[in-house]
Structure 1
Amino acid sequence: MGDYADLAGVRTWYETEGSGDPLVLLHGGFCTNDTWGAQLPELAVSYRLYLPERRAHGRTPDVEGPLAYTDMAGDTVAFLESVVGGPAHLVGWSDGGVVALLTALARPDLVRRMVVIGATFRPASEAFVAPEMLDALTPDSADMAFFRELYVAASPDGPDHWPAVATRMIDMWRTQPTLDAGDLAAVRAPTLVIAGDDDLMTLEHTAALYRALHDARLAVVPGASHLVPLEQPAEVDRLILGHLAGGEAGTMMPVLRAPGPAPDRDATG
């Protein structure tokens, strides 16, 4: 079931499914809710799913000015307050993971538990395995064809608006997000970090994200790319449901989660 919510300055399309505790699914950049199709049947059994499409994505129209993750996080806060009606679990994939992290920083009272998949906390030049890939991306490039088709099929702004959105999104990836370890340490929601072992982000960047978070777990899925929810949906569903259920058992030989003074999570030796 879908409808529009009139948030502050952004008429946001969202869909709902299932029943139970609220779980908000935040799609990736240039994507729509359709990309969550492999997760919906399993997650909807246990949770009331909310799927908002962010500004300039899917059926949600564009807004004037630059695109920024912080604004998208502000939209998510408004969505949690006005549509969900309170705190929820967040699952964010790629750009959606960045938005989830920023939402948890801005309004910790609205975020219960969180899963971020293939997320960054620094700009592409510092996070991507091959940051030069952005240089080849243009609105009309072959690598953008899949996203262009998603946009044209759904956007209320029409196909002629695609170049404006694509250019601003690529600019956003070049310069955002700009979090550091101190920012991430302030996130209090228990967080599961998921990545493919052949993700767009370096494993070092993913490990740094995991180590900087106050209460985190890490899952690197073997034989998977940035599209791991599509490639291995059953495994991703298992990881998400296990984390959201909570009750993680202590390990037999804890280091980062050892009682007493926390070790230096940035240490490499």
Structure 2
Amino acid sequence: MGRYVKAGELEIWTEQVGEGPDVLLIGGLGDTVESWQFQLDGLADRYRLTAFDNRGAGRTAMPEGQPTVEAMADDAAAVLRGLGISAAHVAEISGGSIISQELALRHPELVRSLVLQSTWPGMDQYMKSLCRSIHWQAALAPDERAFLEFFFLLVYTPRAHNSGMVSQIIDDVLAFPYQQSTGDFLKFLDAFVVHETAGRLGQIKAPTLVLAGGVDPMSRPELGEAVAQRIPGAQFEVMPEESHQPFQEIPDVWNARVNEFWQEAERLHPVIEPVGNPDE
């Protein structure tokens, strides 16, 4: 069952499953709790997983004005605090990885470790041009299905398109009762175009794993590597045959790798429970 958590005046939809060390899952453009179903199903026997709908996606409203990554990072912090979670392993995808970078910078005490999938330190000119093309396609596409067919060329491998997986995802998106508006989608995208963390990533102290898809046309491997090079001690790995969202295309492989990383973080950086005053 899900519930709303207050973040200032905003009500954020959250869902939580499982038992064990806490994990926070943060999605990217238009991603909702449902985007993480393979993780909610596949990792709940080992972790307590929390997922939420970002502002302007799913069941969480988009406040007036242009959203910022800083505000979205504060939303994530409010989710953790609102659920009484003192700190969590944080995993994310695409724009969610940028929110997570900012979460680790603004609220470091809440982040036990980071898994940054399909990430970047700041958009280069190529990526900014790609984002402008997404704006044009949204305006020119004859209908929502046509726009999603274009957009998902940037997100999923040819394997996923040819297998029928992408067609099923599009059917599910169109049938979803809490669809994100095109306007909110583009406002969300614009927040990431102007955001940069390159000069601040060295401040992140949490153990970090950076994953990149070898055939990702958006957050290309060299962008992920640039993030890993700036975060002290970060691990960087390329999944050579994957694109932007391997957590959905090869969930068993992805889940196994992040579980291995979290187990290592648990071993090397265990939670130390506070000890009461023996004189009390």
TM-score (norm 2): 0.78
1:109-148 CA deviation, whole Å, 9 max, x = no partner? 1100110111222136354795564353326632346789
Q: Which residue number corresponds to residue 50 of structure 2?
A: 50
Moved more, 130-139 or 18-27: 130-139
Contact 1:104 1:189 in 2 (8 A): yes
1:217-255 CA deviation, whole Å, 9 max, x = no partner? 112112110021111111111110011111699xxxxxx
* Percentage of matched positions with identical amino acids: 26
Contact 2:95 2:192 in 1 (8 A): no
Contact 1:29 1:95 in 2 (8 A): yes
Q: After TM superposition, list the pairs within 5 Å mapping 1:116-265 onto structure 2.
A: 116-123=116-123, 125=125, 127=127, 130=130, 133-138=133-138, 141=141, 142-144=146-148, 150=173, 153-155=176-178, 162-175=181-194, 177-180=195-198, 182-199=199-216, 200-246=218-264
1:138-165 CA deviation, whole Å, 9 max, x = no partner? 266323467897387343xxx6x81331
1:192-219 CA deviation, whole Å, 9 max, x = no partner? 0011101121222111111111121112
> Structure 2 vs 1, CA of residues 198 and 88 (structure 1 numbering), >3 Å: closer, same or farther?
same
Contact 1:11 1:60 in 2 (8 A): yes
> Structure 2 vs 1, CA of residues 86 and 247 (structure 1 numbering), >3 Å: closer, same or farther?
closer
Distance 1:151 1:57 in 2: 14
Distance 2:32 2:23 in 1: 17
Q: Which residue number corresponds to residue 88 of structure 1?
A: 88
- Could you tell me which amino acid in structure 2 is paired with residue 164 of structure 1? G
Deviation at 1:66, TM superposition (A): 0.2
Unaligned runs of 5+ in 2: 150-168, 268-280
Distance 1:93 1:76 in 2: 14
Contact 1:43 1:237 in 2 (8 A): yes
1:3-32 CA deviation, whole Å, 9 max, x = no partner? 111221210000010001111111121111
- Could you tell me which amino acid in structure 2 is paired with residue 224 of structure 1? E
Correspondence 1:11 to 2:29: no
Distance 1:100 1:207 in 2: 17
Deviation at 1:70, TM superposition (A): 1.0
> Structure 2 vs 1, CA of residues 247 and 82 (structure 1 numbering), >3 Å: closer, same or farther?
closer
> Structure 2 vs 1, CA of residues 174 and 135 (structure 1 numbering), >3 Å: closer, same or farther?
same
Distance 1:37 1:241 in 2: 16
> SS in structure 2 opposite 1:61?
coil
How many residue pairs get matched?
A: 243
- Give 4+ residue runs of structure 1 displaced > 6 Å after superposition: 145-149
Distance 2:176 2:203 in 1: 39
> SS in structure 2 opposite 1:70?
helix
Unaligned runs of 5+ in 1: 250-269
TM-score (norm 1): 0.81
Contact 1:125 1:174 in 2 (8 A): no
- Could you tell me which amino acid in structure 2 is paired with residue 189 of structure 1? A
RMSD: 2.6
Distance 2:122 2:175 in 1: 29
Contact 1:73 1:102 in 2 (8 A): yes
Q: Which residue number corresponds to residue 98 of structure 1?
A: 98
